[in-house]
Each structure stands twice: as C-alpha cells, then as structure tokens.
Amino acid sequence: MGQEAGPRTIVHVDMDAFYASVEQRDRPELHGLPVIVGADPRGRGVVSAASYEARRFGVHSAMPISRAFRLCPEGVFLPVDMDKYARVSVEVMAILAEFTPLVEPLSIDEAFLDVTASGALWGDGAAIGRQIKSKIRSRVSLTASVGVAANKFVAKVASELEKPDGLVVVAPGREGEFLSPLPVGRLWGVGKVAGAELQAMGILTIGQLAQTPAAHLKARFGPHGPDLLQLARGLDDRPVQPDAAPKSMGAEETFEQDTRDVELVRATLRGQSERVARELRGTGYAGRTVTLKLRFADFSTITRAQTGDPTQDGLAIYRRVEALFSRVRLTQAVRLIGVSVSMLGSAGSGQLSLLEPDVARTERLARAVDRLAARFGDEAVRPASLVPGRRRPRPRQPSE
C-alpha cells in the first residue's frame, strides 16, 4: 500500500449503537435505560447491540447473552428487528448520497464517503461531517460518529475515538502524529494473536510499530508485516468503491442445547442455505465459495470451504455445505452451525452455470418462492426436508 500524491477527503460515518438507538427512538420510555438487543436472555445466543447505558455495565456486542444478563439483569432485552433496522439504514444511506455519489456501505450502519470533489458545494471535510451529523439527527432522530481524514483507515479510526456523537478530523500530513499514541490493537489485522506477538516484541503503540524495521515485521508476520507498517504510518491508498459487492452473505444459529443430532444439524444447514440464497437473490448476487462453520461445546471452531460455479440457489448451496459437513468427524457436540457464501459477483447474464439446463426454471421458481415469503413469511413455503416428521429442538437466533 502507498499514499496517493494528491490528498483526498474521506469521511467515515458510523451510527451509534444502531439497533439499540433505533429501539430507544421508537419507544421513548426506553430513553436512558440499558437496552440490549439480541437473543433471548434465557437462551445461548449473543448480544447484537447494546445502548451506551448498557455498556456502562460491561455489556457489548457479540457477548454471550447469558453473561449480559448477569452483568445487567435490570436491562431491557429486545429481539432483533432486522426489517426495521434495514429501513432506517436505507434512510441514512440516502442522506449520505446527497453529499457524493461515492458512498461505500460497509454494513447496515456504517459507510465511507469520498467527498474530495464535494468541497465547492458543501465545504471542507469538517463542514461536511457536521452537516452529515445534523441531517441524520434531524431526519431520523439518531446520532452518528464521523471521522474525516485523507484515507479510509485513518478516517475509520477517527470515527471510533469520540463515540457517541463524535466528530474527529485528521488534517492531511498529520496521520502519523494522530495514530502514534494509540494502541496497536486499533490497526486492522491486529487481533489477539498478532497483538500478543507485537507485545512480545515490545511494541505497544502504533507509533512504536511505525518505527519498526520492515524486515523485522516481515520475518515475524510474513507478507502481512509490511502492510501493518504502512497502516501504522497512516498510509492507505484504497479508493472508496460505491459499487463494491459485499464480501460474503451468511447465516449462523446457536442451538439451545449442544447437539450430536446429525439430522438436526443437516436440517439447520438446509434452512440456512435457503435464507442465504434468498438474500443473494434479493441483492442480485451469486457466490462461488460456500463455507461451513462449526463451533463445538468447548468453543473450538472450524471452517471448511468449497469453491465452484456461481450460485444463488438454496439447494445448490446446501449440497455443497452438506458435502463439507459429511467429511467432518464429530468428536463432540455442536454448539453453533453456520453457512456463508463468498466470492460474490453480479448474478446477471453469464454468471450462473450454463452447464445446468434447468437453471432458468429453477431461478423462476426460487423467485416465486421469494415473493410468497415476502408476502406470507419465511415459513409459508419450505423445502420438504424442513417439514419435520417429529418435533425437534429449534436453534435460537440471532447467533454468535
């Protein structure tokens, strides 16, 4: 990675505690209360979002919901309402598009904007950041934190530093100074393992990492080492890509009880495959790589993947993931199961395999099922294999 010669103005917008904030907005009686959105607190799923009031108790997203309940038993626990959050997200993204056509959503609640060419109309980066925050507050009654910098990495770090409702601007040429005192864990690609290795090298801050010889980092981290060094020095030349496809689409579920029931696992994979396929069709993508994720009773996790022709068909996805599952030796009970599809591309002409003569008919049938599901709910039409001959324990949602 290297830095462009001419400075850009990149804005990163991150909604504050998005799911929980939407719930507090829509239910005024929840203002000021610790709101926790996620799985049933009596179950074994995870926290999807926690209001800032809940975070004071140590609750955070991805935490097991049972632990969140122990930390904050007086919290208001609410289920995930993804349809509602998606509608609000559309409103927010429409606001961002008023400032520039160069908007790259990262998820339902955050996006990058390249506003380099927007200065004549909207002012400098700081002015644009203030106006974005103001429009979001006035139109959807929510707050966002905004980072402004000359590149994507620094803008994202900046948006995280003064949450909630923050605005942090990093002037061009000041990236290294801004990053220097921050812990190395702020860098993309530095998780627990890499963080521990850097600590063993005596590197605790981004500034210390920026002064480390590239050869030392390459020897320890391989090709990833020089990339870390570039980020530590505030260099990132990746453009904002408004039409970039998402990296993957997937579904995960945590069982209420750890299970060795192979048929239950297969039925769960079948349902997940259909949900992922419906999401792919709804967004116009097809994917080449199907990945199976298994988490066991001891929390160890494995993934297995298979790459083939692009698909957005639920049965095709299931056949691949079931083949992967059939090769896994279950030495202990399964806690979580997941399916994801990656290597995504447009499902337009020429993407789907021409080797399958029934592809067009299958696609028409799938879209008819999608219309029924949209009108009557996901359970209106299901594969025969998902109609149980006997009652089985159902997995909980949302999942880890």
Instruction: Name the one residue in this structure whose structure tokens are 């909604």.
Output: 15
List the beta bridge partners of residue 49.
37
Catalytic one among 110, 175, 253, 274? 110
Judge whether 110 counts as a catalytic residue. yes
Catalytic residues, which ones? 110
